[in-house]
A and B are shown apart, each in its own frame.
Chain A
C-alpha cells in the first residue's frame, strides 16, 4: 500500500467545491443541534464530568472488568472470543460462520468491523456481507469508506445518492425524494434480513456486571441484524467495557445529544443472552469478539490512554474547522477528524500515520465539545513530540519516525543562537542585511510562499531600533 498522505489528499479536497458545500451544510446543522441540547452549562459540565469519570474508571480497571465481562457473558450463554489483531478477529468471525454453515450475513453499523476491513475479508472467503445501515449500505454500493463515524455518507448529496442507487439497484427508478430512496433500500434489505444466516454488529457499551451488549441506533437495522438471523456475532474493541449497568444511561445521554442533538435515538438495544428456552425469536447463538489491535499498548500510557475514553459520538469532527473543509476521506483512515488524528497513529504507528497529528490548527474546538473530555490537543502535541523523538524508545509505535536530521540540526542551532546574546546580535544583523536575498520560489521558502506572500526582514533589527530611541541596552 502506498504511504497515506493527509496533506496531499487535503489539498485536493479543499479544491472540491461540491464536497466542501456538502460538509459545511451538514456540520453547521449538527453543531446547531448539539448546541440546542446543551443550553444549561451547569448540567453540561456535570454530565461531561460524570461521563469522563465513568470511562476513566472503566480504563483504570480494564483487566478486571474484561474478566468480569467474560464471566458474565458466559454465564448468560454468550460465547466470548479474544483477538490480538484484526486478522485474528476476521479469522474468528470466519470460523464461527463456518461452524454455523452460514453463507450470508447482514451487518449493523460498526467502526471496529471497518477497522478489521471485515467485508473485504469475508468477500474473499465467498461470504456475502451486506451493510444494513442506510448510510453504510449506500457507501458499500459506491465502494467507498465512511467519511464520518455517525453519518457515513455525509459527503454525498441527494442527487449523487439517487444516481448511485439507480445504477446499482436493479429496477430502482431515479428519484431525489429521500423517503422514496429509503423505501427502495428497505425493500432490498428486508429480504436480506429475512434470509441472512448471520448478523454482525458492533457494541457501543458492554456491561461487565451483567454481560450486556448495548447498541444505539435510529433505523432498526441493528435490531434486525441481531434478532432475525440464527447467529449473532458482535465485535468490539476491548476498551468499550463499562463497570455497571447504571454507568450506561449517562453515556447514552452524552452520546446521542453530542452526536446528532437527539435526546435519545429511536432504539437502545440491550442484548444479554441468546434465545432462551421457550423464546421464539432472537439468535440461537451469540458470539462476542474482543479485539485488542494495539489498545492494550495505548492503555498502558498514563497520558495517551485518554484516547480510549472515546464513545464515538463524532462531535469533535462536527466542530473541527479542518474536517469541515477537507471532509472525511482526506484522512485516509477508518476514523477521521480529531479523534482519528490521535487514534490512528497510535493503532497503526507513527511510521505509517505520523502525518496525522500535524494536520491540526490546535484550535481546541474539539476539546470544548468532547463529552468525555479527551484532551485531544495535548495528545496531538504529545504525538508530534513522539514522532520527532530522538531516541524512538517509547511505547508509541513508530516513535521517532518523523525525525528529520536537517530539521533537528536547524533547531539546535536556533537554540544555541537564542542562548547567546552575542551570537543573536550578530546573526540578526547579518539577516537584516542579506536575509531578503533568499529566493522565495525555491525550497525551503517555496513551501511557504506557494500560497502566501514572502515575509521580509526589516532593514534594522529590533535591538538597533530600540537603541536609537534611547532604550538602555543591557
Chain B
C-alpha cells in the first residue's frame, strides 16, 4: 500500500512543485553571536537559573566533593550512576561510601534486569554532558549504552556534569564544530532546565513528567 502512495505522492510533487530560483540562507545572525568564555558561562548560568535549574561551579577535581556536600542531608537512599563512563569512574573512585548521610551509588545497569524498572524507581541520577550552549542555557547529551536515555528523564532529580570549556555560543555553532551531521547518535538531547508545564492557566509547574529538579555542576 505504502509503495503506491509513495509513487502517487512523488508523482504529484515532481510534476507540481514549480521550479524556483535557488534560495540562499544567511546564517550570520546566529554565527555572529560570540562571547568570551567568562560571558558564555555567565549566560548559561543565568538562562538555566531563570527556568529553575540550579547551577554550582567547582574546580576540576572537586566536583565529587561538591556533589557530596549538596546531597548530604537530602535523605536520598540511592544515586543512580553510569559505571564505565568518565563521570561514573570518577564517582566510583572518590565517593565516600562510609558516610551514612550520603546516598549509596546505584549502577544504572544490572545484568538481567530491565533498565525501565530500575530507573523509574530511582530517586536521582547523575550523568555527563557533551557540552553546553550559552545562548539558550542548554546542556547537550548523547546518551549511550552505558548511560541510557531514561537516566536524565525518569528520576525526579537529575544531576549533570558540565565542563566549562565545552560551553558553545550557540546550538548552531556546536553542531557545526562537532560535526554532528556526519554521524548522529540514536538520540541527541538538549536539556534546558527541569521538566515543566504551563498548561493549567499558564501557571508554571515543575516536574510534570520528567525531573522536578535539575542540578548542573560546572567544573573549570
| Residues in chain B near residue A194, CB distance under 8 A | 116, 120
A279 to B82, CA, bound (A): 13
Q: Is the interface of A mostly helix, strand, loop or mixed?
A: helix
Contact for A266 among B9, B20, B170, B192, CB less than 8 A = B192
A290 to B119, CA, bound (A): 33
Contact for B205 among A84, A179, A299, CB less than 8 A = A179
A5 to nearest B CB, angstroms? Answer: 29
A422 to B213, CA, bound (A): 80
B27 to nearest A CB, angstroms? Answer: 7
* CB <8 Å contact, A247 and B137: no
Contact for B27 among A26, A246, A266, CB less than 8 A = A246
* Chain B stretch 1-30: residues in CB contact (< 8 A) with chain A: 1-3, 5-6, 8-10, 12-14, 16-18, 20, 22-30
* CB <8 Å contact, B200 and A134: yes
* Chain B stretch 71-91: residues in CB contact (< 8 A) with chain A: none
* CB <8 Å contact, A88 and B1: yes
* CB <8 Å contact, A296 and B12: yes
* CB <8 Å contact, B10 and A63: yes
* CB <8 Å contact, B181 and A244: yes
A412 to nearest B CB, angstroms? Answer: 33
* Chain A stretch 52-69: residues in CB contact (< 8 A) with chain B: 53-54, 56-57, 59-60, 62-63, 66-67
Smallest CB-CB separation from A298: which chain B residue?
B16
Smallest CB-CB separation from B204: which chain A residue?
A178
* CB <8 Å contact, B149 and A53: no
Smallest CB-CB separation from B108: which chain A residue?
A280
Kindly state whether residue A92 has any CB partner on chain B within 8 Å: yes
* CB <8 Å contact, B197 and A263: no
A280 to B145, CA, bound (A): 6
Looking at B17, B148, B209, which has the most chain A CB atoms within 10 Å of its CB?
A: B209
Kindly state whether residue A470 has any CB partner on chain B within 8 Å: no
* CB <8 Å contact, B192 and A263: yes
A327 to nearest B CB, angstroms? Answer: 14
* CB <8 Å contact, B14 and A182: no
A264 to nearest B CB, angstroms? Answer: 4
Contact for A153 among B30, B109, B199, CB less than 8 A = B199
Of the listed stretches A117-125, A214-222, A377-385, A457-465, chain B binds: A214-222
B29 to nearest A CB, angstroms? Answer: 4
Looking at A29, A247, A300, which has the most chain B CB atoms within 10 Å of its CB?
A: A300
Kindly state whether residue A101 has any CB partner on chain B within 8 Å: no
* CB <8 Å contact, A220 and B210: yes
| Residues in chain B near residue A133, CB distance under 8 A | 199
A55 to B185, CA, bound (A): 25
Q: A63-B14, A135-B199, A280-B148 are in contact. Are A50 and B25 (CB under 8 A)?
A: yes
* Chain A stretch 216-231: residues in CB contact (< 8 A) with chain B: 218-221, 223-224, 227-228
A290 to B28, CA, bound (A): 33
* CB <8 Å contact, A273 and B186: yes
B207 to nearest A CB, angstroms? Answer: 7
Of the listed stretches B59-67, B124-132, B171-179, chain A binds: B171-179
Give the B interface residue count (CB, 8 A): 74
A208 to nearest B CB, angstroms? Answer: 11
* CB <8 Å contact, B208 and A54: no
* CB <8 Å contact, A53 and B145: no
Kindly state whether residue A74 has any CB partner on chain B within 8 Å: no
* CB <8 Å contact, B138 and A264: yes
| Residues in chain B near residue A56, CB distance under 8 A | 20, 23
| Residues in chain B near residue A209, CB distance under 8 A | 181
* CB <8 Å contact, B209 and A297: no
* CB <8 Å contact, A60 and B192: no
Kindly state whether residue B106 has any CB partner on chain A within 8 Å: no
B4 to nearest A CB, angstroms? Answer: 9
* CB <8 Å contact, B25 and A57: yes
Smallest CB-CB separation from A214: which chain B residue?
B188
* CB <8 Å contact, A267 and B18: no
A218 to B211, CA, bound (A): 11
Kindly state whether residue A250 has any CB partner on chain B within 8 Å: yes
Contact for A83 among B2, B115, B184, B207, CB less than 8 A = B2
A46 to B22, CA, bound (A): 19
A227 to B170, CA, bound (A): 26
* CB <8 Å contact, B16 and A299: yes
* CB <8 Å contact, B199 and A138: yes
* Chain A stretch 84-103: residues in CB contact (< 8 A) with chain B: 84, 88, 91-92
* CB <8 Å contact, B203 and A238: no
* CB <8 Å contact, A82 and B6: yes
Kindly state whether residue B104 has any CB partner on chain A within 8 Å: no
| Residues in chain A near residue B27, CB distance under 8 A | 50, 246, 250
| Residues in chain B near residue A76, CB distance under 8 A | 184
Kindly state whether residue A157 has any CB partner on chain B within 8 Å: yes
| Residues in chain B near residue A252, CB distance under 8 A | 171
* CB <8 Å contact, A67 and B10: yes
A266 to B138, CA, bound (A): 8
| Residues in chain A near residue B166, CB distance under 8 A | none
* CB <8 Å contact, A266 and B51: yes
| Residues in chain A near residue B24, CB distance under 8 A | 53
Kindly state whether residue A49 has any CB partner on chain B within 8 Å: yes
Kindly state whether residue B180 has any CB partner on chain A within 8 Å: yes
Contact for A296 among B9, B22, B171, CB less than 8 A = B9
B119 to nearest A CB, angstroms? Answer: 8
Smallest CB-CB separation from A265: which chain B residue?
B192
Kindly state whether residue B219 has any CB partner on chain A within 8 Å: no
A90 to nearest B CB, angstroms? Answer: 12
Smallest CB-CB separation from B25: which chain A residue?
A53
B81 to nearest A CB, angstroms? Answer: 15
- The 5 A-B pairs at the shortest CB distance, nearest first, are namely A220-B210, A300-B16, A135-B199, A268-B190, A46-B29
- Which residues of A line the B interface, CB within 8 A? 22, 25-26, 29, 43, 46-47, 49-50, 53-54, 56-57, 59-60, 62-63, 66-67, 76, 81-84, 88, 91-92, 132-135, 138, 151-154, 156-158, 161, 178-179, 181-183, 185-186, 189-190, 193-194, 209-212, 218-221, 223-224, 227-228, 238, 244-250, 252-253, 260, 262-276, 278-282, 290, 292, 296-297, 299-300, 302
Give 7 new A-B contacts, CB below 8 A, not counting A218-B197, A219-B195, A281-B149.
A181-B200, A209-B181, A218-B196, A221-B208, A267-B190, A271-B186, A281-B115
Chain A to chain B contacts (Cβ below 8 Å), 7 pairs: A53-B24, A134-B200, A264-B136, A264-B137, A270-B184, A276-B186, A280-B109
